[in-house]
Structure 1
Amino acid sequence: MLTRSSHVLIWVKNIHKAVADFRQLGFTVEYVTTEKKSKNALIWFEQGAIIELLTSPPNPQRFKWMIDLFAGRGAGKRMIRWSQQGEGFCDLAVVSDDFDNDLLALKVSGIKMCRTIPWRRTKPNGDKTKFHFVYPRTDSLPFIISPYQPSQRPDKVDHSNGATSLAKINMTVRKEDWDTVWMLLGQDPVMNLEYGPKTQIQNIELAGLNNSLPTEKLHGTQLNQQFSK
């Protein structure tokens, strides 16, 4: 499969507070749409996986049926989990360079999927992009996205804290999810997969980070300096 880690998702209660905090930590953070409307913001790197901050409406359980109707059965449970578990790592997006065939391979292997959703986005500067995404019905599994068309990755990214790339994603995987997660990410050198009671990101390591980051600004996450090899 032509898949690899794309976005590490961090759920936050207040997107504007989170953007301000991560900027104070020395990250360049971009809202995905106009600041007033945006519920997502991105921390880009010049290559590899990136970090996405996101929030969701309060009491998402009230809208579960609407989410399932829009994105397919199982999508609502995923979004409820994001908010109920509190601030911190909530999900992982996996990008596929062969979206249709990889999606078919997952279905053939017995993985039940929600509905494929086409999405469009306009940045604050007016640049537009489009992509597709689809959630597995099992809400603990990473979800699949297609590449942005056109790409929105900046040519040059400068974080004042020195971070240059997301060097390692340390993730535990429960036994029931292992085969699927390995199918998606087992060949990705950024991923460090270990068995655990839950499928979830434990921490990430950033190459180039010049200082440890204060936990009170990290919104329930662990962002570490890259460990020596």
Structure 2
Amino acid sequence: MKTRCSHVLLWVKDIHQAVQDFRQLGFTVDYATKEKNAQHAHIWFSEGAIIELLTSPSNARYFKWLIDVFAGRGAGRRMIRWSQEGEGFCDVALVSDDFDNDLSVMNREGVQTGRVIPWRRTKPNGQKISFRFVYPRSERLPFLVSPYNPPQYPQKTDHKNGANGLSKVYMEVSEQDWQSVRRLTDQDSIFNIKPGPTTKVTGIEVSGLKENLDPTLLHGSKINPAN
């Protein structure tokens, strides 16, 4: 497999408050869709992995069966878990330039997945973005996405706090997920994994940060300057 980290997902209760807070922290934050009804926002860098802020309906648990029908077994548990665990890092996505081949490799090696979902978004400026994604049935394994079409990386980024790249993703991985997570992430040195009781992202490092960030504005996440 030739996957690499696409983005870490940070679940927040109020997407608009979170965008305001991360902007106060010195990040440039872009809504993924029109601001009024947005559920996703991005912190872009000129290359590499990014940070995605997202929210979801508080009543998502009532639609678990519908989510499973749409995205395959395990998708409902995954999306419900995001909100049930509260604010903080909730997931991590891997991007593949050879999506279909890497998905086949995952399945051959025992990582069962749900349905491949083609997705479209319309940015605030009206541009149409398309991509595909698929969730493993095991709800805590990283999921697979295709590159955005058209590409979305800006030529340069201007974060007032000096941030210029996501340099490290720290994960704890349970014994039952260890082999799969190692196989999925071993092509990207950004990942630092260690054994733990539950598979999850525990924190990230961002290169270029001029100072430590105010934890009261981080919505449960741990973001540190790169060493």
TM-score, normalised by the number of residues in structure 1:
0.97
Distance in 1, Cα, partners of 2:81 & 2:201: 14
Equivalent residue for 1:219? 219
Give CA-to-partner distance per residue, 1:143-201, whole Å, 9 cap, x none: 00001111011111100000000011111111111111111111211111111111111
Aligned to 2:34: 34
Q: Which aligned pairs between 1:1-229 and structure 2 lie closer than 5 A?
A: 1-227=1-227
State the 1:127 CA deviation.
Answer: 1.4
- The 4+ residue runs of structure 1 with deviation greater than 4 A are none
* Aligned mates of 1:167, 1:105 — CA distance in 2: 27
* In structure 1, distance between residues paired with 2:214 and 2:110: 43
Q: Deviation of residue 208 (structure 1)?
A: 0.5
How many Å separate the matches in 2 of 1:19 and 1:114?
31
Work out the CA distance in 2 between the residues paired with 1:186 and 1:179. 10
Aligned residues: 227
Cα distance in structure 1, aligned partners of 2:180 and 2:110: 10
Determine helix, strand or coil for the equivalent of 1:18: helix
Tell me the secondary structure at the aligned position of residue 78 of structure 1.
helix
The letter of the residue matching 2:48 is G
CA contact (8 A) 2:8 2:92 kept: yes
Q: Percent identity?
A: 59
Unmatched runs of 5 consecutive residues or more in structure 1: none
Whole-Å separation in 2 of the counterparts to 1:203 and 1:82: 16
Q: For the residues of structure 1 that align with 2:195 and 2:98, how far apart are their CA atoms?
A: 28
Partner Cα distance (1:128, 1:39) in 2: 16
SS at 1:36 equivalent: helix
Gaps of at least 5 residues in structure 2 are: none
Structure 1 residue 214 displacement after superposition: 0.8
Name the aligned partner's letter for residue 219 of structure 2. H
Letter in 2 for 1:17: Q
Shift in Å, 1:81? 0.4
**Aligned letter for 1:50?**
I
Deviation, 1:78, is: 0.3
Bigger drift between 23-32 and 183-192 goes to 183-192
